[in-house]
Structure 1
Amino acid sequence: MTDYIAFCGLDCEQCEARKATVNDDNELRAKVAKEWSELNGVEITPEMINCVGCRLTGVKTPFCQSLCKIRQCALGRKVITCGDCTEMTSCSKLSEIISNNPDAKRRLEGK
C-alpha cells in the first residue's frame, strides 16, 4: 500500500484537492471549492484547497487536518490505516466510506 492511501482507504492521488496542490492549479482549487461547498452546505474557499495527502506530512484541507473523524481516530490509535484496526468491520465512522466505495474497502483489506 502506498503512502497516498488515506486512513479510510481512499486514494489521495486521485483527489482533486491533492492534484490542485501538487500542480499549484488555482482553477482546479476554485472548482473543487465550489463543488465541495455545494456538496457540504458550507463555504469552502479556494485557499482551503491545499492537501498533500491524508497520511503524508504537509498541508491538509481544514476538514482533513482536524475535522475528519476517521483520520483523528486512526491517529489516536496509531494505526497505519483503518485496515490495521481490530474494529474496522464494525466502525460506524469508516462504514460511511467503505459502504459506498468498494475500492477503498479492498485497499484496507489488502486485496
Structure 2
Amino acid sequence: MKKIIAYCGLICSECPVYIATQTGNEELKEQLARDYSTDTCKFEKNDMTCTGCHSINGVNEKMCVDCPMRKCGMEKKVSHCAECNDYPCQYIEDYVPIESDNRKVLEELAKQSKESDCR
C-alpha cells in the first residue's frame, strides 16, 4: 500500500481504521470501536470508516470532518502541514504534541522540504 500521510502527520496507510476501511474488515471495525470508545465518547462499527482526510467524500463525521488542521490544509492546498509556510502553527502546537509520532513525521517532512529548497 502506498504511504499516505494526513495533514497532522498521521500515516494513514498504517492506521488500523484506514486499513479496516480499505480491506473491508468489519470485525476489525467492531474491535476498533470498542478499543477507541471512552466513557465520554462511544464509537460504533460504522464510525470506524476512514478514506483518509484528503478525501472529499467518505470523511468520518464523528472523527475528522470538523478537524481544523484538515480544513486549513485543504484551504491552503498542501499535502500535509509540514508543507505550509506557517508550520508549525497554533493548530500543530495545540493538537500535535512535540513528542508524538505524528509530530516526528511532520518534523522529518519539514526538514526534507527545507533541504530540497536549498538545492
TM-score relative to the length of structure 2 = 0.75
The number of equivalent residue pairs is: 107
The structure 1 segments of at least 4 consecutive aligned residues displaced by more than 4 Å after TM superposition are none
Q: Deviations over 1:44-100 (max 9, x none)?
A: 111111112222454222222x121110111122222211211112x2222322512
**Per-residue deviation, 1:28:** 0.9
Kindly indicate which of the two structures has a greater share of residues assigned to helix: 1
Query: Match for residue 73 of structure 2?
Result: 74
| Identical columns (%) | 24
**Of the two, which has the highest radius of gyration?**
2
Separation (CA, whole Å) in 2 of partners of 1:33 and 1:77:
32
Cα–Cα, structure 1 residues 107 and 30, in superposed 2: closer, same or farther, change >3 Å? farther
Gaps of 5+ in 1: none
SS of structure 2 residue aligned to 1:43:
coil
Does residue 1:104 correspond to 2:93, yes or no?
no
- Work out which structure has the larger RCO, using CA pairs closer than 8 Å and 6 or more positions apart in sequence: 1
Q: Is contact 2:36-2:43 (8 Å) kept?
A: yes
TM-score relative to the length of structure 1 = 0.79
For the aligned residues, what is the CA RMSD? 2.2
